[in-house]
Amino acid sequence: MPTRAEIEEAGMAALLGAGVPLPHARRQLDLLLEAELRGLPSHGLLRLPRVIERIANGVTDPHTSGEAHWRGAAFLEVEGRQGLGPVVAMAALDAISGRVAETGIAVAAIRNCDHLGMLAFYAEQVAASGRILIALTISEALVHPWGGRSAMLGTNPIAIGVPAHPDPFVFDMATSIVAMGRIHDHAARGEPIPEGWALDAEGNPTTDAARARDGALAPFGGPKGYALGLAFEVLVGSLTACALGPAVKGTLDSTAPCNKGDIFIVLEPATGAASAISAFLEEVRQSPPADPDRPVRVPGDRANQTHAMRQQGDIPLPDAVWQPILRLAGKSKV
């Protein structure tokens, strides 16, 4: 198992070798590492080879951080120009965060940059700096409507970061019942998936993970989760004029320019709110559990535990993820 320093060295070598400028490489790698630290490997270093393939294929421009203009005093419109997700996103976030002291709220409406990765990354940073973040993004159509047969919606996650002690409150969740990565995991291991997770390519319910891969994920929470995911897609579409539904491309493959949209809203909390929020979260944690051995958790508790453990030790990286990165790093040194 590689050490964290080895992972960082190989990751940076791979990105720099692909022509990514140093600060952009650092930002992209930080995002992927942070997902590993928080225990979300589906959004971690597994994704590095695809980032590099997309650059090699000319569908991602590693140099740009997008082109921004203020549509209003608190509304930043960002044309991503096929830049790296975290590079364009962090530039937009910095710009609107700088505006919030004056306006109290500001929004960035981003389109046409690559996958932003784990939204908790952004929520955690904004909340740790004392502000609130609401983040939304859409993806290629992977989720079927409630009562439908085919994928018409993205997995459309929402993240919310709110200042609190000792850790900021960080919530990050897709509106699909599971991530498509979980289906791929089951397929790779030849295991069935639970009923209700997915439809096959013909739109029929399936527990065969391999068939589900070509089909559609269920929304979480039945008709309500479907409505929520659709509302988020419509909201992002209305603000960014991005592609929608089956027209969204470039979030999963290595060959299509990415045409989805993302929204960041940064807000100023009320004075002293962090203490009240922290006390309330603690009250929820201390409330009586259904199972005496399993205390009530609040969103982010598990990720924070994992993060604390992993920051002091190694990151468990399967060989199937590590070897391709090593190869990319080696190639880059030639």
What amino acid is encoded at 247 in this protein? A
- Range 147-176, binding a second copy (CB under 8 A): 147-150, 152-153, 158, 160, 162-164, 169, 171, 173
Q: Closest approach of Cβ 330 to a second copy, in Å? A: 41
Q: Closest approach of Cβ 227 to a second copy, in Å? A: 4
Nearest to 48 by CA among 303, 241, 333, 328: 328
Q: Closest approach of Cβ 51 to a second copy, in Å? A: 28
Residue 122 CA to residue 168 CA, distance in Å, equals: 12
Written as six digits, the tokens of 246 are 């089956």
Q: Closest approach of Cβ 281 to a second copy, in Å? A: 7
Nearer to a second copy, 148 or 181 (CB): 148
216-217 and 198-199 as β-strands: parallel, antiparallel, unpaired?
antiparallel
Q: Are 145 and 139 in contact (CB under 8 A)?
A: no
Nearer to a second copy, 1 or 231 (CB): 231
Q: Are 147 and 116 in contact (CB under 8 A)?
A: no
Say whether residue 298 binds a second copy (CB under 8 A): yes
- DSSP letter (8 states) at residue 78: E
Residue 109: left (phi > 0), alpha (psi -120 to 50), or beta?
A: beta
**For a second copy, which residue of 63, 71, 327, 331 counts as binding (CB under 8 A)?**
71
Nearer to a second copy, 37 or 134 (CB): 134
- Range 116-135, binding a second copy (CB under 8 A): 132, 134
- Range 226-245, binding a second copy (CB under 8 A): 227-228, 230-235, 237-241, 244-245
Q: Closest approach of Cβ 318 to a second copy, in Å? A: 26
Strand partners, 108: 76, 264
By CB under 8 A, the count of residues binding a second copy is 81
Q: Are 107 and 132 in contact (CB under 8 A)?
A: no
- Range 75-114, binding a second copy (CB under 8 A): 75, 77, 100-107, 109
Residue 239 CA to residue 260 CA, distance in Å, equals: 12
Nearest to 8 by CA among 40, 36, 50: 36
Nearer to a second copy, 235 or 256 (CB): 235
Say whether residue 69 binds a second copy (CB under 8 A): no
Strand partners, 161: 133, 170
By CB under 8 A, which span of 40-48, 143-151, 186-194, 320-328 interacts with a second copy? 143-151
Say whether residue 42 binds a second copy (CB under 8 A): no
